[in-house]
Amino acid sequence: ISNHEPVVKEEVKKLSALDTNKTTLISDFYPTYLMKAFKPPFVLFHLGNYDLISNKMIGIVGKIDETKIKVLKFLASNQYVMNFKLSSMEDNDLELLQKNKIPCIIFCDDIMIVKQGSQYQKYLKEDNFLFLSETYMNSKNTSFLEYYINRIFVGHDLPIIIFDKSINDDLGLITYLNITKHKVYLYEQQHTKPEYDKHIGAVRINNFNDLKVVFINKN
């Protein structure tokens, strides 16, 4: 607990009156994968199926389309839940995930954006969605929101697959990966420099069969 993000007493008082689901670091339901992360947040706000938090997880960065669904289905069949950052997703991504029943956790800037957004309500009724945030109604410094999202998106020892995306396009995430030395799997990656792969300890995967081999061996 002494290593968690500092909590302002006034903010804690507001939490008790806040009408949304939340889990604190001292709760039995706090995700174990975050407990050993750098300064784990004291409170997490969530909407959707919280049971997904207890599964194996893998981060997904980059464009999602029909060609990537077979990868996500393969990972789901191996009991992985996909992690996404809402700020990096395109308009039809959630619909595509819902259509294919991909179990996923969506990390967002502010849980109230999801709770009050009409476009998200149909997803909150599905068992394969969980929305997670450590902020509500701009409760933290907005200049650090991307840092907060990356912290809980990456978590502790969470592997990442990057789809067709330059590492330079997500420097905040990659900087955090460098600091915490997480494993990264690059799939169909076209733009990164080889030294980046070596620097972050990534395993380059160029096709679906290679991906299957890596994860079958990993499991």
pLDDT in tens, 6-16: 666 666 666 66
197 versus 136: the higher-pLDDT residue is 136
* Residues composing the chain: 219
pLDDT digits 0-9 by tens, 117-171? 999 999 999 999 999 998 887 766 666 667 777 878 887 777 888 887 666 666 6
Q: What is the pTM of this model?
A: 0.86
CA dihedral 10, 6, 44, 57 (to 10 degrees): 170
Query: Which residue type sits at 169?
Result: D
d(CA 46, CA 49): 9
Q: Name the strand (E) or helix (H) holding 100.
A: none
Report pLDDT for 151.
Answer: 79
